[in-house]
Amino acid sequence: MATHNSDKTAQTKSKEQAESAERLEGLLRDLETLQAYLQERGRHAYELAQRFLANARRDAGSRAYDERQATMLEYQHYIWHEIAGRVSQLLVAYGEPEETSGVEAPSSNQPPTSEQDS
C-alpha cells in the first residue's frame, strides 16, 4: 500500500511539473510577443518623431508645435524600448538560452536627445 501511495504521489508531482513547464513555456512565448510589440511601438513613435522634425524644418508656422510633438514622441520611443529591454531581461532570466539568444536589448539607457535645429 505504501508503494502504491508513493507511486501516485510521484505521478502527481510529475504531472504538476509538466503543467508548470507548459505554463512557463506559454508565458515565455507571450513575453516574446509582448517584447516584439513594444519594440514596434517604439519604432513607430520614432518614425513619427522624425516626421514632426522634418515638418518643423519645412513649416516655420508650426515649428514650435512640431518640435514639442517630436520631443514627446522621442521620449515615448525611449520608454517603449526601455520596457522591451526589461521584458528581454525576463526572457533571458527564465527562458532557454538558445530561445533568447536573438533577443535585442536597448542600445542605451540614456534618454533620447532631440535632433532639433536651434
For residue 93, give its domain range: 21-100
Query: Given this model, what pLDDT does residue 98 score?
Result: 54
Q: Is residue 54 part of a domain?
A: yes
Q: Mean pLDDT by 10-residue block, N- to C-terminus, for the chain (118 residues)?
A: 71 87 92 96 97 94 95 96 95 72 45 43
Rounded (5°) CA angle 80-28-14: 160
Q: Is residue 6 part of a domain?
A: no
Dist. CA 52–CA 58, nearest whole Å? 10
Query: Given this model, what pLDDT does residue 9 score?
Result: 83
**Single-letter amino acid code for the residue at 21:** A
Three-state DSSP at 103 gives coil
Q: Is residue 14 part of a domain?
A: no
Residues in the chain: 118
Helix axes 2-58, 63-94, angle to 10 degrees: 160
Verdict on whether the full-model pTM lies above 0.75:
no
